[in-house]
Chains A and B, each alone.
Chain A
Amino acid sequence: MSQMQIQETQALDARGLLCPMPVIKTAKAMKELAPGEVLKLTATDRGSIADIPAWAESTGNEVIEWHEEGDAIVFFLRKGA
């Protein structure tokens, strides 16, 4: 996967947490951001590979990029308008 340089506004460490907590904590963290700002989420829940994009789609946010780093999955989420 291509690695872009994305500058996050906030970072959220959800490593070790299982469903539904990565989504719950992501929703909470995104509430604090302004439209266009970016959250970097690091999770180890394998379900989040499907869940985070699904959550983003239903809430009008955007997964700009995601990749795996060892056991972890890193997402960059841009807050929608």
Chain B
Amino acid sequence: MLDEQHITTAALTEEDVRRIVQTELGRDTGPRTAAFIASKGTLDWAYPPLILGTTAAASGMDASIFFTFYGLNIIHKDFERLLKVSPLGNPAMPMPVPMPNLVLGLPGMGPMATQMMKAKFRGKHVAGIGELLESASDLGVRLIACQMTMDVFGYEQDDFIDGVEFAGAAAFLAEARKAHVTLFV
């Protein structure tokens, strides 16, 4: 808080005022919050919301991730099997040899690409999805499943990992309206 006595008794120069305002603006006045939406259910897109959510919490922010549509895969108990990656329609995906879409559509290409990506990540010591989910839980990141898409896809609350909360758009917005960082992934 400003020192009122200081202000009323001393003559402040413009520089003093500037300094005081700078200090007050720079001071962290309360907890920062971050609210993320995870809407994609592939292995590659599972990473950004989990990385940002855990890092936000590790940086002292109140973090929450709202999982909707295919993003529900990420917090499903069976995430290891559900999270896949497909080279089909993804020209940016590095392949050992260039392959036309016709070949990429053949049976077995999807699982192969998924195994390739998992092996590559493991080889580089990138944290697995399970490890990131564990970190999220350790750090107190709120994991919220979208009730509407759960109902559409026929998921039960028991289908999800421990600690998941269930809510809708209004609950997300209640978090997001006071958040300093919001991202849709």
Q: Give A53-79 interface residues, CB cut-off 8 Å to B.
A: 55, 58-60
Q: A20-B54, A28-B138 are in contact. Are A58 and B60 (CB under 8 A)?
A: yes
The verdict on A11 contacting chain B, using a C-beta distance below 8 Å, is no
B: number of interface residues (CB 8 Å): 17
B60 adjacent to A24 (CB under 8 Å): no
The verdict on A33 contacting chain B, using a C-beta distance below 8 Å, is no
B127 adjacent to A21 (CB under 8 Å): yes
Q: A19-B51, A60-B28 are in contact. Are A24 and B124 (CB under 8 A)?
A: no
Partner of B127, one of A18, A58, A59: A18
CA A60 – CA B27 in complex, angstroms? Answer: 10
Label chain A's interface by main secondary structure. helix
| Residues of chain A with a CB closer than 8 A to B54's CB | 20, 24
The verdict on B20 contacting chain A, using a C-beta distance below 8 Å, is no
A-B contact count (CB 8 A): 41
A24 adjacent to B125 (CB under 8 Å): no
The digit string for A15-43, where 1 denotes a CB below 8 A from any CB of B, is 01111110110111000000000000000
CA A41 – CA B138 in complex, angstroms? Answer: 21
The verdict on B135 contacting chain A, using a C-beta distance below 8 Å, is yes
Residue of A nearest to B131 (CB): A21
Identify the interface centre among B51, B55, B138: most chain A CB within 10 Å of its CB.
Answer: B55
Partner of A24, one of B28, B32, B126, B139: B139
| Residues of chain B with a CB closer than 8 A to A28's CB | 58, 138
The verdict on B59 contacting chain A, using a C-beta distance below 8 Å, is yes
Partner of B58, one of A16, A17, A27, A60: A27
